[in-house]
């Protein structure tokens, strides 16, 4: 499976990789800015980076809700935001993790195990009539996997939201319209 | 600091967090602060006893916030307010939001319950940082006394640089009580602590050059001047640009005084209640040079019908203002003063290089035609008729000492103040523009007078506004701050009444206050002020003279004005600026607005 958007079409979402100072309340600042300005968050993933003083927030935003440029500029105004990179889904490596509890009684169990093997997933827990499976990969791969599992009955599932980095040999486009220069170096 | 000594104490000295807080404020050259003590902030009030900082004890925390704003408006220095936790902090919410909307540099210090009690719903606990997150430029809960000096330095740095705004520091009681070792971060340490904060002040050279070319090419240009010009202290630079290019100037509600009203190029205020000339000049313009202005809905009217033929040069220090409302043809991010100065140089270079400026004379004469046809006007009463609010303002203006600072509340009286005063100096107009905070004027006037004791400070208030914050006149009396308040008292929430008259078929709902309660003269006297009541036009001048002659206490003049008076011109909400409604005496001449 390709890790990039396999369709190569115009993206329906934008990914922002936001480097922030790792300080109390920084996620609340970002989230409340989105709420206050009426921007929609599609998914969100947060964790410290290799430098402990910084965290990286990967936000997938719905481009319908507001012009991306305005979202980026408003985010820049938060004092704790250090750098914003816009990641084009076609030029980025995206990964997401999911876990799901799937009904697996009788013969269906073997089919599910086979499916998990094909997708290179894992079985994390086995019960008398259900299994918990996990899969990491591109969001599209997770979508496909979810679709195929649905026929067996998914009783619970959780996805992490995507994390992403720019593909190698592709310059990261630091969000830098002529009017945002000077903030992120 | 070069040695191990700061002016407020020796580095490494063991002091309490409270002492460090007050020292920090002294280090930031704070000369006055406005506040009211209470439980959690109590420790900070003890070292204040031996501090050089003057503290003005307010009667309500909202008053402290607006006083800090008024002080900042007229001095350009950050206003400082200090209050306790919980209800005091929530009372600070309105001034913080007001300062945020109008880009006023302000530092608010709030007490907080002790660190161990945070999150337990302790007495007078509230999530101050959470509540004020979206209405401050930045806020910070300080969890250790050692961190206080850096928090203070960051707060003043952030509040006063870039696009100014309010910063709040929330300090738990135990942080104030704990011992720390006195330190004062250097400029470099402050900069390093804020890797994500680097406001760009110098405009892009190529963009400035492009703007200069566009300015010289345009035939119907207008300088659209906003509050950012005052924040950047760019009034002189603006005047040089206007006079070099002979381009007419409109000054928004936040920019009144940034360009002299008496100047032949000045067209007055644009927008919903702007002059017909300012509004129409923008509508017909082929180039708007927006300087520190944000295309507010009260200026643009219906956005897609605003200045339809105009190209836009937009100078603003806040990148997020570029394209927020109207896409600029030439965006320039930078400090208005620096950018305008560079723009003047670029234009001069082009002119010296042989580029000729398009002929703006036909445009100027068209604009002057509008000025002649559509001056601000109202119908004066026949003798024995009611007192007109505009008449009071004209008399007040004509009798005001040079350099008088005018402060207003929000509503009809605010629009008349902006229209009928002549603002010829910057920093002589203080009002609540963005948030539209009723009750702003009394405390803001007090703060302005504290900041500029050398100047006469008049507040024009409505009777509705006055009743919201009048108690601060007790503060003014006790602290000997001789402000003058003129209430344009029409017994109504006048602007709401105007909208109900015009847009709700004169169905007046909950706008009538009372003709005789409160008794403003008695109320003023009870608060230690001189109270004067004016019912008839013939009494106006004497009352104003008397008020101007009193300088040992506040004065309140209750002008009983005609409730039927309407603010004209007006652009109805949801319509374009072409649909301007003129005063009845001019409405027959509308075809001249072409």
SS3 per residue for A48-96: ECCCCCEEEEEEEEECCCCCHHHHHHHHHCCCCEEEEEEECHHHEEEEE
- Cα radius of gyration rounded to whole Å, chain A: 19
Can you read off the two tokens belonging to residue B377? 């006007």
For chain A, which ranges sit under pLDDT 70? 1-12, 65, 170-185
Q: Determine whether the interchain pair B322/A182 forms a contact, defined as Cβ–Cβ distance below 8 Å.
A: no
Instruction: Give the chain B residue whose CA is nearest to the CA of A181.
Output: B200
Integer Cα distance of B19 and B55 in angstroms: 15
Domains of chain B: 5-193 (3.40.50.970), 205-373 (3.40.50.1220), 389-560 (3.40.50.970)
Integer Cα distance of B72 and B427 in angstroms: 10
Integer Cα distance of B264 and B424 in angstroms: 12
Backbone torsions φ then ψ of B423, nearest 5 degrees: -90, 110
Instruction: Give the chain A residue whose CA is nearest to the CA of B202.
Output: A182
Q: What percent of chain B has pLDDT over 70?
A: 99
Residue B106's alpha-carbon distances to A161, B158, B519, B562, in angstroms, are 39, 10, 35, 38
pLDDT at B1: 41
Sign of the CA dihedral with B585 first, then B587, B591, and B594 last: positive
Alpha-carbon distance A183 to nearest alpha carbon in chain B (angstroms): 5
Residue B115 contacts residue B170 (beta carbons within 8 Å): no
Size of interface A-B (CB pairs under 8 A): 65
Nearest to B149 by CA among B18, B291, B280: B18
Alpha-carbon distance B197 to nearest alpha carbon in chain A (angstroms): 6
pLDDT for residue B260 is more than 90: yes
Integer Cα distance of B162 and B461 in angstroms: 32
Biggest alpha carbon distance in chain B?
Answer: 76
Instruction: Give the chain A residue whose CA is nearest to the CA of B332.
Output: A179
| Chain A residues in contact with B133 (beta carbon < 8 A) | 25, 28-29, 32
Q: Determine whether the interchain pair B138/A79 forms a contact, defined as Cβ–Cβ distance below 8 Å.
A: yes
> Looking at the annotation, which residues of B are catalytic?
61, 123-124, 173, 495
Alpha-carbon distance A89 to nearest alpha carbon in chain B (angstroms): 25
Instruction: Give the chain A residue whose CA is nearest to the CA of B331.
Output: A179
* Run of H or E including B468: helix B463-469
Residue A75's alpha-carbon distances to A20, A44, A92, B102, B447, in angstroms, are 10, 15, 21, 20, 33
pLDDT at A1: 32
pLDDT at A180: 38
Q: Quick one: B2 exposed, middle or buried, by C-beta within 10 A (0-12, 13-18, 19+)? A: exposed
Q: Determine whether the interchain pair A79/B197 forms a contact, defined as Cβ–Cβ distance below 8 Å.
A: yes
pLDDT tens for B55-93 read: 999 999 999 999 999 999 999 999 999 999 999 999 999
| Chain B residues in contact with A25 (beta carbon < 8 A) | 129, 133, 141
Alpha-carbon distance A96 to nearest alpha carbon in chain B (angstroms): 28
Q: Determine whether the interchain pair B200/A182 forms a contact, defined as Cβ–Cβ distance below 8 Å.
A: yes
Integer Cα distance of A144 and A121 in angstroms: 13
- Cα radius of gyration rounded to whole Å, chain B: 25
Q: What percent of chain B has pLDDT over 90?
A: 96
pLDDT for residue B2 is more than 90: no
Integer Cα distance of B137 and A101 in angstroms: 45
Query: For residue B301, how far is the Cα from the chain centroid?
Result: 21
Q: Quick one: B120 exposed, middle or buried, by C-beta within 10 A (0-12, 13-18, 19+)? A: exposed
My answer on whether omega of the bond before B518 falls inside 30° of 0, hence cis, is yes
Q: What is the DSSP string of B278-305?
A: HHHHHHH-SEEEEES----HHHHSSGGG
Q: Determine whether the interchain pair B196/A33 forms a contact, defined as Cβ–Cβ distance below 8 Å.
A: no
Strand partners, B9: B6
Q: Determine whether the interchain pair A178/B204 forms a contact, defined as Cβ–Cβ distance below 8 Å.
A: yes
pLDDT tens for B191-217 read: 999 999 999 999 999 999 999 999 999
Alpha-carbon distance B317 to nearest alpha carbon in chain A (angstroms): 9
Alpha-carbon distance B163 to nearest alpha carbon in chain A (angstroms): 10
pLDDT at A175: 52
Integer Cα distance of B594 and B590 in angstroms: 8
Residue B124's alpha-carbon distances to A35, A72, B91, B471, in angstroms, are 27, 37, 13, 23
pLDDT at B180: 98
Backbone torsions φ then ψ of B11, nearest 5 degrees: -65, 140
Q: Determine whether the interchain pair B130/A69 forms a contact, defined as Cβ–Cβ distance below 8 Å.
A: no
End-to-end CA distance of chain B: 62
| Chain B residues in contact with A77 (beta carbon < 8 A) | 318, 320
Can you read off the two tokens belonging to residue B198? 């680097």
Instruction: Give the chain A residue whose CA is nearest to the CA of B204.
Output: A178
Integer Cα distance of B418 and B407 in angstroms: 10
pLDDT band at B341 (very low <50, low <70, confident <90, very high): very high
| Chain A residues in contact with B313 (beta carbon < 8 A) | none
The DSSP output letter for B586 is T
pLDDT at A172: 54
Q: Which residues of A sit within 8 Å Cβ distance of B? A: 20-21, 24-25, 28-29, 32-33, 36, 67, 69-70, 73-74, 76-83, 177-185
Can you read off the two tokens belonging to residue B384? 């024995």
pLDDT band at B480 (very low <50, low <70, confident <90, very high): very high
pLDDT tens for B419-433 read: 999 999 999 999 999
Can you read off the two tokens belonging to residue B518? 């409160």
Q: Determine whether the interchain pair B198/A185 forms a contact, defined as Cβ–Cβ distance below 8 Å.
A: yes
Q: Quick one: B575 exposed, middle or buried, by C-beta within 10 A (0-12, 13-18, 19+)? A: middle
Domains of chain A: 13-92+164-174 (3.30.70.260), 94-162 (3.30.70.1150)
pLDDT at A11: 61
Angle between helices A68-76 and A26-37 (to 10 degrees): 140
When scoring B202, B320, B339 by the number of chain A Cβ atoms within 10 A, the one with the most, hence best to mutate, is B320
Backbone torsions φ then ψ of B301, nearest 5 degrees: 60, -150
Instruction: Give the chain A residue whose CA is nearest to the CA of B129.
Output: A25
Question: Mean pLDDT over all residues of chain B?
Answer: 97
pLDDT at B444: 98
Nearest to B133 among A32, A70, A82 (CB): A32
pLDDT at A89: 78
User: What is the SS3 assignment for B184?
Assistant: coil
E-strand spans in chain A? Answer: 13-21, 41-48, 54-62, 81-87, 92-103, 122-126, 130-137, 154-159, 163-166, 173-174
Q: Determine whether the interchain pair A79/B129 forms a contact, defined as Cβ–Cβ distance below 8 Å.
A: no
| Chain A residues in contact with B164 (beta carbon < 8 A) | none
Q: Determine whether the interchain pair B196/A79 forms a contact, defined as Cβ–Cβ distance below 8 Å.
A: yes
pLDDT at A14: 85
pLDDT for residue B529 is more than 60: yes
Q: Determine whether the interchain pair B195/A21 forms a contact, defined as Cβ–Cβ distance below 8 Å.
A: yes
pLDDT for residue B574 is more than 70: yes
Residue B484's contacts (CB-CB under 8 Å, 6 or more residues apart) are B456, B457, B458, B459, B547, B548, B550, B554, B555, B557
Angle between helices A108-118 and A139-150 (to 10 degrees): 170
């Amino acid at each position: 499976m390709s890790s990039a958007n396999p369709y190569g079409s115009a993206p329906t979402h934008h990914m922002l990789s936001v480097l922030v100072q790792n300080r109390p309340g920084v996620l609340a600042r970002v989230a409340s800015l989105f709420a206050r300005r009426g921007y929609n968050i599609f998914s969100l993933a947060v964790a410290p980076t290799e430098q402990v003083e910084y965290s990286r927030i990967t936000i997938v935003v719905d481009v319908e809700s507001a012009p991306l440029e305005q979202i980026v500029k408003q985010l820049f105004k938060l004092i704790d935001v250090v750098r914003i990179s816009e990641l084009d889904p076609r030029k980025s490596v995206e990964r997401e993790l999911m876990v799901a509890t799937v009904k697996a009684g009788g013969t269906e169990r073997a089919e599910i195990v086979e499916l998990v093997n094909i997708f290179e997933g894992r079985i994390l827990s086995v019960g008398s009539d259900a299994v918990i499976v996990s899969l990491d990969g591109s969001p599209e791969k997770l979508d496909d996997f979810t679709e195929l599992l649905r026929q067996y009955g998914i009783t619970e599932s959780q996805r992490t939201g995507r994390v992403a980095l720019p593909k190698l040999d592709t310059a990261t486009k630091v969000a830098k319209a002529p009017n945002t220069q000077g903030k992120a170096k | 600091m070069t040695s191990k000594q700061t002016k407020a104490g020796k580095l490494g000295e063991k002091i309490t967090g409270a002492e460090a807080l007050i020292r920090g404020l002294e280090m930031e050259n704070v000369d006055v602060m406005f506040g009211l003590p209470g439980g959690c902030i109590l420790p900070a009030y003890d070292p204040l006893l031996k501090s050089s900082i003057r503290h003005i004890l307010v009667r309500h925390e909202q008053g402290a916030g607006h006083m800090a704003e008024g002080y900042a408006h007229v001095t350009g220095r950050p206003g400082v307010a200090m209050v306790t936790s919980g209800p005091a902090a929530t009372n600070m919410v309105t001034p913080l939001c007001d300062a945020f909307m109008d880009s006023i540099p302000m530092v608010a210090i709030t007490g907080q319950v002790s660190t161990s009690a945070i999150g337990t719903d302790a007495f007078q606990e509230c999530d101050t940082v959470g509540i004020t997150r979206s209405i401050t430029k930045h806020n910070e809960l300080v969890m250790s006394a050692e961190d206080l000096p850096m928090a203070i330095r960051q707060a003043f740095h952030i509040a006063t640089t870039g696009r100014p705004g309010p910063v709040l520091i929330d300090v738990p009681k135990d942080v104030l009580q704990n011992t720390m070792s006195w330190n004062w971060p250097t400029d470099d340490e402050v900069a390093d602590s804020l890797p994500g904060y680097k406001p760009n002040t110098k405009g892009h050279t190529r963009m400035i050059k492009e703007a200069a070319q566009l300015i010289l090419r345009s035939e119907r240009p207008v300088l659209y001047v906003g509050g950012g010009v005052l924040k950047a202290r760019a009034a002189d630079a603006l005047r040089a640009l206007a006079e070099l290019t002979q381009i007419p100037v409109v000054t928004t509600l936040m920019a009144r005084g940034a360009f002299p009203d008496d100047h032949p190029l000045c067209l007055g205020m644009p927008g919903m209640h702007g002059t017909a000339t300012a509004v129409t000049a923008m509508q017909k313009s082929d180039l708007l040079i927006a300087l520190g202005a944000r295309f507010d809905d009260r200026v643009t009217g219906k956005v897609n019908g605003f200045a339809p033929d105009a190209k836009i040069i937009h100078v603003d220090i806040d990148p997020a203002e570029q394209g927020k409302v109207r896409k600029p043809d030439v965006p320039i991010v930078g400090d208005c003063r620096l950018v305008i100065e560079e723009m003047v140089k670029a234009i001069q270079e082009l002119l010296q290089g042989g580029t000729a400026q398009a002929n703006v004379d036909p445009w100027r004469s068209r604009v002057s035609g509008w000025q002649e046809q559509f001056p601000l006007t109202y119908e004066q009463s026949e003798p024995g008729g009611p007192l007109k609010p505009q008449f009071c303002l004209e008399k007040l203006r004509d009798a005001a000492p040079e350099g008088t600072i005018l402060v207003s509340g929000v509503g009809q009286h605010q629009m008349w103040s902006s229209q009928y005063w002549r603002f010829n100096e910057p920093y002589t107009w203080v009002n609540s523009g963005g948030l539209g905070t009723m009750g702003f004027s009394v405390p803001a006037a007090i703060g302005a007078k504290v900041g500029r004791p050398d100047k006469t400070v008049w507040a024009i208030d409505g009777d509705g506004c006055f009743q919201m914050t009048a108690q601060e006149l007790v503060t003014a009396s006790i602290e000997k701050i001789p402000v003058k308040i003129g209430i344009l008292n029409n017994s109504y929430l006048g602007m709401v009444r105007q909208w109900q008259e015009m847009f709700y078929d004169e169905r007046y709902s909950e706008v009538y206050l009372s003709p005789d309660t409160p008794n403003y003269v008695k109320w003023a006297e009870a608060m230690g002020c001189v109270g004067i009541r004016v019912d008839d036009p013939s009494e106006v001048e004497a009352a104003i003279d008397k008020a101007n002659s009193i300088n040992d206490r506040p004065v309140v003049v209750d002008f009983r004005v005609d409730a039927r008076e309407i603010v004209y011109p007006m652009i109805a909400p949801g319509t374009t600026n072409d649909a301007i409604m003129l005063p009845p005496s001019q409405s027959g001449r509308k075809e001249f607005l072409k």
